[in-house]
Amino acid sequence: MTFRVCMVCLGNICRSPIAASVLRSKLEAAGLGGDVVVESAGTGSWHVGDGADHRARATLRAAGYDDEHSARQFVTRYYEDYDLVIAMDANNLRDLRRIAPEAEIGDRVRMLRSYDPTAKGDLDMPDPYYGGDDGFQLVLAQVERACDGLVAELRDKLNG
Instruction: Give the residue numbers marked as catalytic.
Output: 9, 15, 127
Q: How far lies 13's CA from each of 80, 115, 131, in Å?
A: 23, 22, 14
State the distance between the two ends of the chain, measured CA to CA, in whole angstroms: 13
Three-point CA angle 23, 154, 94, nearest 5°: 70
Report d(CA 28, CA 42) in Å as an integer. 24
Report d(CA 65, CA 76) in Å as an integer. 29
Number of CB atoms found within 10 A of residue 99's CB: 13
Q: What is the DSSP letter of 112?
A: G
